A and B are shown apart, each in its own frame.
Chain A
Amino acid sequence: MGEETQKSNLVPMAATIVGIRQMTDKEKLFTVRLDNGNGFKHRPCQFVLISMFGIGEAPISISSPPVNSGNTFELCIRSIGNLTGAIHRSSVNDRIGIRGPYGNGFPLEKIEGKDILIIAGGLGLAPIRSLIKHVLNERGRYGRLILLIGAKRPEDILFKEEIAMWEEDHSIEMHVSVDIAAPSWKNHVGVITGLFKYITIDPLNTIAAVVGPPVMYRFVVKELLAKKMFEGNIFLDMERRMRCGIGKCGHCQINGIYLCQNGPVLSYLEARKLQEAL
């Protein structure tokens, strides 16, 4: 049986879990380091395929910003099935596999000097945290930073400590809303689109980044268009089933494009031309 040594694009690199932090009852933040010692270059909103050997693979967004210390990166993972359940049961020093990073990532070159408006629902904060932290790291290169964050219940809110820090940071305008809350909750209650009435934007100088559950996009885009934003300045970080990350397995196809390659970030200008996108 002939065997070739050429490396398949579907073969992962070995990596080690170097930190685990419980975030909510369903989500944990994993810090991961590649065993080969190489740094990891990525753009905000790119993703990796993580392997739990014996179970399989799943796409997970990189939650940490591009510039990082110690060659590590962070993945915020919700336990929802086989693979995500298994990684939730693992401990520090356990080994996993990593392929990637994949996808186009956020178009940073288009946002220099602009006001950045971020709308993140639920687990959507995980990928977009990479962009938020990038903007904060290079604060001088961008204009206003406006965050609209939504979650089901107060206890579901991710990155609570960071949100508390962002609250104190006067260079950030932030509004948080939950769908349901006890009377002790001091912030907004209601769907995320309810937060738009609290903000004013300069539509010509603003870039919007939207990420959240599939139902959210249409409503948020409507609000942004109502604020007279240009369709090409609205970026949607979208989700589909993904099995390969390399434009072959077919699962992430939206009409003629592969979201794992042409996405996961699409401008609304591109997305509205794809009947299956929104």
Chain B
Amino acid sequence: MDVTIKHKDVDRFVLDLLSSFDVIAPVARDGRFIFDKINSPSEVSAQYNTTILPPVKWLYPDNEKLLEFNLKDINSMKPVVQANKQVLTFIHPCDINAINIMDEVLAEEPADVNYLARRRASVIIGYECLKPCKEDNILCFDKGYHIAYKGYDLFFTDLGERYYVNVVTDAGMEIVNGYDYFIRAGYEDWLRLLKVREDRKKGFKKSVNGDMEMLSHVLKESYNDEIWAIEGKKCVSCGACNIVCPTCYCFDVADEVCPDMEEGSRHRKLDGCQLRGFCKVATGENFRKSAAERVRHRVFKKEVYLKKRFGKSGCVGCGRCIEHCIAKISIVEIFNHVMGR
């Protein structure tokens, strides 16, 4: 059963959520947007464009603690799995699709129990973007990732003075049942929703020329293309593209010890395949020495390897890696280059 909620009631809704959950929401910061834990409804910016870091960082945080131990007695070591009850609110379809990809990747055995525990403890409220976040440098539409078919409990679409709320899961149902400002959606609301979605379609355009179904195949054929050397020359190997990507999950493991040299903990620190030492082993051998090889690997990982393993592209087309690359390296341009070969 779907419902609607009036714009003016959304603050009350957020306030009510705050009484039972940690609430993660888009927040304006210095003219940009981030996802942050909020304390009051006034902090929320529902009308946002792509955030700097994706919301999935609240499910797969950097420096996540995995283990606590005492150096004097290692029998006391204790696995740490933290999972606060949290709601991720106003999540755009691309970022929901990224979470769906992470769900599959990290649930593959041997599963990542830390991620899965956080994921299970999280309610996801989707939010339909009615126009693309940016004019260009995104490719959500090319990939069909501007629509999310699953991965959320509730999904909000703005109908003007009220939101249409698609209720998908039991957890979502429980939430809307708890509050009387959610009103059962009627036929009129449904027709409005269809109209809004029809109009939305017109705003999106393709960024990559050609049939996206062929992209992974075309890339494979372009393994030795000159594009990798060209982009590799520009890349400064800063790893920013990895940090901002909602489907990058590579990590390193490192220990920290308190100054008393007794209590310690083990952490997972996010790593990036574009960094120079990512494939370097102790004997000094580096298995991806050049930036060209590393740029190619990043693109292939998303578009060829993940696609082969999970049947869908690992890039949701959010455009963050393009926006944050100081060398102006663009996967849209790379895709257009190989498709135009």
Residue in B closest to A245 when the chains form the complex, CB atoms: B110
List residues of chain A with CB within 8 A of the CB of B82.
1-3
List residues of chain A with CB within 8 A of the CB of B264.
53-54
In the bound complex, CA of A14 to CA of B67 (Å):
13
Q: Please determine whether A248 and B249 come into contact, CB atoms closer than 8 angstroms.
A: yes
A9 within 8 A of B: yes
A240 in contact with B279 given A2-B85, A249-B271 (CB within 8 Å) = yes
List residues of chain A with CB within 8 A of the CB of B80.
3
Q: Please determine whether A243 and B300 come into contact, CB atoms closer than 8 angstroms.
A: no
A54 in contact with B254 given A9-B110, A10-B268, A256-B308 (CB within 8 Å) = no
A56 in contact with B249 given A11-B67, A11-B79 (CB within 8 Å) = no
Q: Please determine whether B252 and A243 come into contact, CB atoms closer than 8 angstroms.
A: yes
- Cβ distance B219 to chain A, nearest Cβ, rounded Å: 12
In the bound complex, CA of A56 to CA of B108 (Å):
25
Q: Please determine whether B287 and A55 come into contact, CB atoms closer than 8 angstroms.
A: no
Q: Which of B195-219 contact A (CB under 8 A)?
A: none
A54, A84, A239, A240, most chain B CB atoms within 10 A:
A54
Q: Please determine whether B66 and A8 come into contact, CB atoms closer than 8 angstroms.
A: yes
Q: Please determine whether B66 and A256 come into contact, CB atoms closer than 8 angstroms.
A: no
A33 within 8 A of B: no
A246 within 8 A of B: yes
Q: Please determine whether A250 and B283 come into contact, CB atoms closer than 8 angstroms.
A: no
Q: Is the interface of B mostly helix, strand, loop or mixed?
A: mixed
Q: Please determine whether B257 and A54 come into contact, CB atoms closer than 8 angstroms.
A: yes
- Cβ distance A80 to chain B, nearest Cβ, rounded Å: 5
In the bound complex, CA of A53 to CA of B265 (Å):
8
A53 in contact with B253 given A8-B113, A9-B111, A256-B305 (CB within 8 Å) = no
List residues of chain B with CB within 8 A of the CB of A8.
66-67, 79, 81, 112-114
List residues of chain A with CB within 8 A of the CB of B271.
243, 249-251
B255 within 8 A of A: yes
List residues of chain B with CB within 8 A of the CB of A84.
282
List residues of chain B with CB within 8 A of the CB of A80.
282-283
List residues of chain A with CB within 8 A of the CB of B266.
10, 51, 56
List residues of chain A with CB within 8 A of the CB of B281.
239-241
Residue in B closest to A84 when the chains form the complex, CB atoms: B282
Q: Which of A33-59 contact B (CB under 8 A)?
A: 35, 51, 53-57
Contact with A along B265-298 (1 / 0, CB 8 A): 0101001010000111111010110000100010
A247 within 8 A of B: yes
**Cross-interface CB contact of B287 among A213, A246, A276, cutoff 8 Å:** A276
In the bound complex, CA of A14 to CA of B253 (Å):
18
In the bound complex, CA of A10 to CA of B81 (Å):
11
A275 within 8 A of B: yes
A81 in contact with B282 given A53-B255, A57-B253, A249-B271 (CB within 8 Å) = yes
List residues of chain B with CB within 8 A of the CB of A240.
279, 281, 287
- Cβ distance B56 to chain A, nearest Cβ, rounded Å: 15
A129 within 8 A of B: no
Q: Please determine whether B251 and A54 come into contact, CB atoms closer than 8 angstroms.
A: no
Residue in B closest to A57 when the chains form the complex, CB atoms: B253
A75 within 8 A of B: no
Q: Please determine whether A2 and B74 come into contact, CB atoms closer than 8 angstroms.
A: no
Q: Is the interface of A mostly helix, strand, loop or mixed?
A: loop
Residue in A closest to B224 when the chains form the complex, CB atoms: A275
- Cβ distance B254 to chain A, nearest Cβ, rounded Å: 5
Residue in A closest to B112 when the chains form the complex, CB atoms: A248
A105 within 8 A of B: no
Contact with B along A228-251 (1 / 0, CB 8 A): 000000000001110110111111
In the bound complex, CA of A236 to CA of B121 (Å):
43
Q: Which of A1-26 contact B (CB under 8 A)?
A: 1-12, 14
In the bound complex, CA of A243 to CA of B74 (Å):
21
**Cross-interface CB contact of A10 among B66, B257, B278, cutoff 8 Å:** B66
- Cβ distance A23 to chain B, nearest Cβ, rounded Å: 17
A256 in contact with B255 given A14-B77, A250-B271 (CB within 8 Å) = no
A56 in contact with B255 given A1-B82, A251-B278 (CB within 8 Å) = yes
- Cβ distance B313 to chain A, nearest Cβ, rounded Å: 14
Contact with A along B52-80 (1 / 0, CB 8 A): 00000000000000110101001101011
List residues of chain B with CB within 8 A of the CB of A9.
110-113
Chain B interfacial positions (CB closer than 8 Å to A): 66-67, 69, 71, 74-75, 77, 79-85, 105-106, 108, 110-114, 117, 121, 223, 249-255, 257, 261, 264, 266, 268, 271, 273, 278-283, 285, 287-288, 293, 297, 300-301, 304-305, 308-309
A-B contact pairs, 13 of them (CB 8 A): A2-B84, A5-B79, A8-B66, A9-B113, A54-B264, A57-B253, A214-B285, A214-B287, A239-B285, A240-B279, A244-B253, A247-B110, A275-B223
Known: A10-B253, A53-B71, A56-B255. 7 other contacts (CB 8 A): A3-B80, A4-B81, A6-B117, A8-B112, A54-B261, A240-B281, A250-B271
